[in-house]
Chains A and B, each alone.
Chain A
């Protein structure tokens, strides 16, 4: 081994990509980064960022940081969308389109991995961080430090994905990297290693979050809030975190085994020497199917909070909602085989998993009907969150029916890996998960920042997303039935597909316009923020998060609320009629205050995650000294932090009074 190999592993200057599109991406990303850093330096915001954000253990701030990272990753994921739609609309016959086959494969692999792990998961943990402690009347999460560590590990994973854009390449083996394609023999570059370690590091963060939020719901609810009095969002988080705790260790094992195959020449999934590649497919879906329910359950929770508020009624069928959540949790672990009916497990096995898959549509249907019954005879306010909900109901139900079609093994033999499947799961993930989180972000935005988002631009965004989605994925259902398979970088004009692909491209462009509207919406709302500050309870909410100030103080509640029924805040407002708002204010004014213990800021989470990033980077490039240093430093960091007793501080009663009487605790902007 030469010293160069020792120092840099497989890394050298030649790994920087040179084709124009990749180079354009790098230059765009670097200049965005440079501009951001420059602005932060120019406005002297580093100290503020470090003190108020990077070292903060406040879940509300950590949630907002999740939003930031996921927002950036959403831009990357959407850029990939644009490239794919352009390629498939153009690459017909003699025309080879804009991407090489290999680059196209990297683009769709990156699109899937980024959208699931760094956008959907990020938005989910953002919302949970911001809303969960408030909605159950808690001052914090169960393990504040662990929560920060989860976030920084997530950020480290995202950083590793972005590094792959500049140094080397990304996986070209699809978002789930099936072997033997993902084995060293067929993917010799570092792409798959980037995929493995970015997911492994971010996945560890998700697992810790799962434990954290489950414990939070289980042990930290406000006094009187028995399980059946919990807001539905807390129930869905409990369900989703149960799934995280049971599913993510399987992902950890699967990724670790694949990595051992690639780095130490083991044979867990190889095509020779006794490896079993179908075991990988089973393992990855034993995680992967629960994963989609991990994403959708909190979105269901968001809708279950929004629909009652904007219908002016309590949620219909509370008990059936709870049971349907747990039916979904259990069933989601016995449907994974429907992702590969064509593996040939036999008629009996396929029939069992086909039937289970159809059965899981029932609890989901129960929820849809409950939301509709909640709206029935309600006094509905058509705000943007409600629009996202109604878009969701229509598209999600249609996508779900397509899913029941796919659940039948004979039909699946025809539709497997076709664009019909692609259209189906985008119906679930975009119109289910993403619309749900958009609705939640609009609804809880005033909780985060104290002012409303602009409704007009929100409506523009919604209609562009809705129309764009239908235009982009309607054609894919048809193309799938016409026999177009997924991941095509080129096809023959005689197939007659190009027209529909062009329509899909127009749809994607409309979606991008929708996203642009959201950026404008954010900018306009910040510009008009003083006009949009309309108190602590802008929507006439029903749950506890609206009973404190918006934004909420560090400790959420000066006095932990006592709960005697569902929709606790609604009840307290109803008791103090007519001046509902005034009643809440008055009770806050005559409160007796006590001292509150809050966690101290710490940079340990950021530092440990930075070492984890070094470890991941070292392993990807076979820079062994860096990997060993990274892992040892991370473990030492955990020990040092673990035995630090000085992690809390006490806000005295008089300080609490100052904060409470001072009105809004802090304005971010």
Chain B
């Protein structure tokens, strides 16, 4: 009898997992639409430079390449964290998440430096329609990454002080979905914004 109830509890947990995962995927799809709108805006405004600079004149490709590398590696370490969590290895989870966090933080830092430099040079978001759309598209991605970092930080703290409980495992899975999703968005930004500007 006791075994039976235990089985039932586990079954309930899984159905909750399923619902949460489904809902989170749906949220990610709405975020796709959000980014799609921003991409559309960028496509419309990208040649409206209003006598200001065009993309090729202000983008620093080495920096962008570094950012791409950082974010792609962070996706890899994030995957490692999930594998470690499934194996129940807490130390390894924390280590991999820590590495992901550092890589992501470096990404955000480089982006911030890039933005600050553009603003200092007089090419801020209010310079032209093109720069407005550039800053909003790339900035929205950066904001997402920053929120992902915050989420990761809280998760690490909880895993450090508590245990890898089922709800925490679920949150870890959602966070990693979010992280990979941002990676994919970045690939599109890299292509549409930076490579097409060359």
Q: Mark A residues whose CB is within 8 Å of B.
A: 142-143, 207, 210-212, 214-215, 218-220, 245-246, 248-250, 252-254, 256-257, 260-261, 264-268, 270, 272-276, 279, 283, 597, 635, 639, 642-643, 645
Contacts and interface: CB of A to CB of B under 8 A. Distances in A.
Main secondary structure of the interface of B (DSSP, over half): helix
Nearest to B33: A249
Contacts of A272: 50
Interface residues of B, number: 40
Interface in B81-105: none
Nearest to A279: B44
Chain A CB within 10 A, most for which of B15, B50, B150, B165: B50
A246 B26 CA distance: 10
Contact of B22 (A218, A265, A266): A218
14 contacts: A142-B22, A211-B23, A211-B26, A212-B23, A245-B33, A249-B30, A257-B41, A268-B41, A268-B129, A272-B50, A273-B127, A639-B154, A642-B154, A643-B171
Contacts of B132: 257, 260-261, 266-268, 274-275
Contact of A268 (B19, B133, B171): B133
* The 5 residue pairs across chains A and B that have the minimum distance between CB atoms: A274-B129, A274-B48, A266-B132, A265-B126, A249-B34
Given A257-B136, A261-B132, A274-B130, 15 more contacts: A143-B20, A207-B30, A211-B23, A250-B34, A260-B125, A265-B126, A266-B136, A267-B132, A268-B129, A273-B127, A274-B132, A275-B45, A275-B48, A275-B129, A639-B150
A459 B135 CA distance: 57
Interface string B24-68: 001101110110011011001100111010000000000000000
Chain B CB within 10 A, most for which of A210, A214, A257, A273: A273
B74 interface: no
B19 A267 contact: no
B144 interface: no
A276 B150 CA distance: 35
Contact of A249 (B31, B49, B133, B167): B31
B117 interface: no
B173 to A, nearest CB: 14
Contact of B50 (A256, A261, A273): A273
A245 B48 CA distance: 31
B158 interface: yes
B26 A274 contact: no
A267 B126 CA distance: 6
Given A211-B23, A257-B41, A645-B167, A264 B126 contact: yes
Contacts of B37: 249-250, 253-254, 283
Contacts of B129: 267-268, 270, 273-276
Contacts of A245: 26, 29-30, 33
Contacts of B30: 207, 210-211, 245-246, 248-249
B75 interface: no
A210 B34 CA distance: 15
A253 B19 contact: no
Contacts of A246: 30, 33
Nearest to B46: A274
A651 to B, nearest CB: 14
A102 to B, nearest CB: 28
Nearest to A268: B132
A254 B37 CA distance: 8
A642 B175 CA distance: 12
Contacts of B23: 142-143, 211-212, 215
A215 B22 CA distance: 7
A274 B135 CA distance: 14
Contacts of A283: 37, 40-41
A245 B132 CA distance: 26
B157 to A, nearest CB: 9
B128 interface: yes
Contacts of A142: 19, 22-23
A274 B136 contact: no
Contacts of B130: 274
B31 to A, nearest CB: 7
A199 to B, nearest CB: 16
B19 A597 contact: no
Contacts of B154: 639, 642-643
Contacts of B135: 266
B139 to A, nearest CB: 10
Nearest to A287: B37
Contacts of A268: 41, 45, 129, 132-133, 136
A266 B125 contact: yes
A355 B137 CA distance: 34
A39 to B, nearest CB: 40
Contacts of A214: 26
B54 to A, nearest CB: 11
A642 B12 contact: no
B141 to A, nearest CB: 13
Contacts of B48: 267, 274-276
A211 B27 contact: yes
B126 A266 contact: yes
A273 B136 contact: no
Given A215-B22, A253-B41, A274-B45, A267 B34 contact: no
A207 B30 CA distance: 8
B128 to A, nearest CB: 4
A214 B48 CA distance: 39
A380 to B, nearest CB: 40
Contacts of B27: 211
B94 to A, nearest CB: 16
Contacts of B26: 211, 214-215, 245
B171 A642 contact: yes
B10 to A, nearest CB: 14
Contacts of B158: 643
Nearest to B37: A253
A26 B13 CA distance: 51
A445 to B, nearest CB: 30
A639 B127 CA distance: 36
Nearest to B139: A260
A267 B136 contact: no
B18 A219 contact: yes
Contacts of B150: 635, 639
A511 B158 CA distance: 58
Given A212-B23, A214-B26, A274 B38 contact: no
A143 B38 CA distance: 28
B182 to A, nearest CB: 16
